[in-house]
Structure 1
Amino acid sequence: MTTRWKVNITPAERTARVVIGGLGVLAGVVLLTSAPGVVAVVLELLLVVAGLDLVVTGALGHCPLYARLGHVPSSLKEKVS
């Protein structure tokens, strides 16, 4: 059974998510190389995970949180049936 998710993110937001998420992943990986303590490592790993989430949701065009909250951008409302 394959589920096709509806696009619920605008093209501009998708681009921003991929760019900002990619920068977050890159920053987290760079910072991990010089992590001075356990708390820093945990925070940097969280940065990497958050960045990956943004990249994936931006690439797919579907945000599960938006779907759960019932949020649909006004520019996409006429396209969603």
Structure 2
Amino acid sequence: MSNRWSINITPAERAARIIIGGAGAVVGIVLLVGATSTLAVALELLLVLAGLDLVVTGALGHCPLYARLGHVPASLKGRTS
């Protein structure tokens, strides 16, 4: 398996990303229903997308930005998964 897809997020961070991302996506959707201006729609769509990104990266355990920066948490160093 390529390093590109290796797990580079700790279990605690994965859980936090899923919870916070899910909440952000839900709040964005709720706010989007009552949006009255173009700016509000754009910002709420960004909130939904950011939330979904957190959910996906948390579920997969891989953050492309961390990989690009070469960041690996100390507790995950040496793992091959």
Normalised by the length of structure 2, the TM-score is 0.92
Q: CA RMSD in A?
A: 1.9
Deviates most, 71-80 or 16-25: 71-80
Q: Which amino acid aligns with 2:13?
A: E
Q: Which amino acid aligns with 1:32?
A: L
Task: Give the alignment of 1:2-41 within 5 angstroms.
Answer: 5-41=5-41
Deviations, residues 16-73 of structure 1 (Å, cap 9, x unaligned): 0000000000000000011010000000000000000000000000000000000000
Q: 1:78 deviation in Å? A: 2.7
Over the matched positions of the two proteins, sequence identity in percent amounts to: 70
Q: 2:78, 2:12 → 1: CA distance?
A: 17
- Structure 1 unmatched ranges of 5 or more: none
